[in-house]
Structure 1
């Protein structure tokens, strides 16, 4: 079961992070008009390397979202942010929706 599309009221654009080069971060093509639920409230989160940072936005999207950490995300407000952590939530056999949670700088 996936998160119901009616709950994904916002539209965002994602430039998936493709790695680093001698010229800095590299990104794949922009994926426009991605349905998501965006919460632009600050909160304290822990990054993959253990640092505590303040996240400025959290978004929920479908379970197949391609958004590795470091991806650039354009929020509905027009603000461009970077994905800090990406978590795929699944519960096989349980009646809860599968989704992807992205925490942004």
Structure 2
């Protein structure tokens, strides 16, 4: 199987890519809507810096979706959260749907 079927990506999330910090606040790119499947479940994950943090939800998106850590995400519920990590999930030819896992605070 190649990519996760689009009909499984039932939700729309809004991503504002983290661009860095200014002298007054974080800077974000323009909002982009992305199709995803959102699972609001709390679990422990490891951040890119190596520390264990709590993820309150996970979004699954199509392969090729890239979201830098600290980007701002608005979930279908209206809750605004930040990206912990964006991880490609490739089955390596196995019959599993390839996708991107976006771990959220």
Query: Fold conserved (TM > 0.5)?
Result: yes
In structure 1, the partner of 2:15 is 14
In 1, Cα distance between the equivalents of 2:22 and 2:97?
37
- Aligned pairs, how many? 104
Extract unaligned runs of 5+ from structure 1.
Answer: none
In structure 2, the partner of 1:80 is 80
Q: 8 Å contact 1:88–1:99 — kept in the other structure?
A: yes
Listed one character per residue, the Cα deviations across residues 46-77 of structure 1 (whole Å, up to 9, x for unaligned) are 11122211110011001121311111000011
In 1, Cα distance between the equivalents of 2:5 and 2:55?
25
Extract unaligned runs of 5+ from structure 2.
Answer: none
- Comparing 22-31 with 91-100, which one deviates more in the overlay? 91-100
- If the length of structure 1 is used for normalisation, what is the TM-score? 0.90
Q: 8 Å contact 1:16–1:66 — kept in the other structure?
A: no
In structure 1, the partner of 2:97 is 97
Q: Considering only aligned residues, what root-mean-square deviation do their CA atoms show, in Å?
A: 1.3
SS in 2 for 1:6: helix
